[in-house]
Homo-oligomer: A and B are copies of this chain.
């Protein structure tokens, strides 16, 4: 697959150079590690929030560093966890004595490297708490929810954590609010077409010309069902079904995200959103706030994911709070 790049081995460096140039008002590279990117102006005394993961998911993760969301990010290679050093570097840069909160998706590399960074930070006297996002209901049964992968729901978790920290909450309070959100969040995706890694140019998986795969992961991990592509309304209904079978959202207020994987047009995402909204209405689930667009992509993969987050009064306030990052504004 054709890509507008210079050198497949340098896509992350070239992307970072462009990103830092375009968003120099918000972001800077840490002196401690070239793959640690941090905010220029963190509010005084705030609990620090550090996120991160592999590259290729833009606007995730660097696009969510800024006012009201994260304070620092560790940038990995394409679909590969960052090492502990940029994570630790970002933590050191943004910590202000009130602790650092780490948020990352449930992938073995990220779990290992973020935990190692947490240990390094604790040895320096930095108080650390961690939250592992595992919103993808397709990736393991309910009884093994701890094995589930983190997908687009991570964005809601950053939003909750960032808003809570900005209110002046303690590390314990930031953890409590995001932990609640993490319990109340579910996602599920559908893939229509693969992406290709810059280094190989080869598709990450193959699907027939009229096939879709329900539950396929953001790095091409196997899903739960492969079959003929169905109309958007049926696909939306299946995603809602699977999510609501896993958690009862009846009579709840929810935040909803329809997230494009990369090459699926915004037109299609709004068509899916309309079908999702009808399904939720039928189930007496009220959409309090909605997000339709590309939030966590997989390069140029085709398809989308649906995320639902149950909201109480605290979470409504945190989801509604203003945020201004390179790629998220409200």
- Check if B267 sits within 8 Å of A265, measured CB to CB: no
**A263 in contact with B232 given A21-B277, A271-B18, A272-B4 (CB within 8 Å):** no
Looking at the complex, which of A33-41, A54-62, A112-120, A162-170 is the stretch in contact with chain B? Answer: A54-62
Indicate with 1 or 0, residue by residue over A9-27, a CB within 8 angstroms of chain B CB atoms.
Answer: 0010011011101100000
**A266 in contact with B59 given A18-B273, A231-B5 (CB within 8 Å):** yes
- Check if A6 sits within 8 Å of B231, measured CB to CB: yes
Check if A3 is an interface residue, CB within 8 A of chain B. yes
- Check if B329 sits within 8 Å of A229, measured CB to CB: no
Indicate with 1 or 0, residue by residue over A116-160, a CB within 8 angstroms of chain B CB atoms.
Answer: 000000000000000000000000000000000000000000000
- Residue picked from A17, A55, A56, A209, most chain B C-beta under 10 Å: A17
Q: How many residues of A contact B (CB 8 A)?
A: 58
Indicate with 1 or 0, residue by residue over A262-284, a CB within 8 angstroms of chain B CB atoms.
Answer: 11111111111111010000000
Choose from B2, B7, B19 the contact partner of A302 (Cβ within 8 Å).
Answer: B2
Residues of B within 8 A of A268 (CB): 3-5
Determine the distance from Cα of A302 to Cα of B196 in the docked complex, in whole angstroms: 14
Choose from B58, B270, B273, B302 the contact partner of A266 (Cβ within 8 Å).
Answer: B58
Check if A303 is an interface residue, CB within 8 A of chain B. yes
**A304 in contact with B2 given A18-B272, A55-B267, A265-B262 (CB within 8 Å):** no
Check if A193 is an interface residue, CB within 8 A of chain B. yes
Check if A210 is an interface residue, CB within 8 A of chain B. yes
Residues of B within 8 A of A272 (CB): 4, 18
Residues of B within 8 A of A55 (CB): 267
Check if A243 is an interface residue, CB within 8 A of chain B. no
Check if A111 is an interface residue, CB within 8 A of chain B. no
- Check if B231 sits within 8 Å of A7, measured CB to CB: yes
Check if A247 is an interface residue, CB within 8 A of chain B. no
Check if A235 is an interface residue, CB within 8 A of chain B. yes
Residues of B within 8 A of A199 (CB): none
Within 8 A of B (CB), among A230-252: 231-233, 235
Check if A297 is an interface residue, CB within 8 A of chain B. yes
Check if A311 is an interface residue, CB within 8 A of chain B. no
- Can you report 30 A-B residue pairs in the complex whose CB atoms are below 8 A from each other? A2-B210, A2-B229, A2-B302, A3-B192, A4-B235, A4-B272, A4-B303, A4-B304, A5-B268, A6-B233, A14-B232, A14-B270, A14-B271, A18-B269, A18-B271, A18-B275, A22-B270, A22-B273, A56-B265, A58-B265, A59-B266, A63-B266, A262-B265, A263-B263, A263-B300, A265-B297, A265-B299, A265-B300, A266-B297, A267-B299
A interface, CB within 8 angstroms of B: 2-7, 11, 14-15, 17-19, 21-22, 55-56, 58-59, 63, 190, 192-193, 209-210, 212, 229, 231-233, 235, 262-275, 277, 290, 292-294, 297, 299-300, 302-304, 327, 329-330
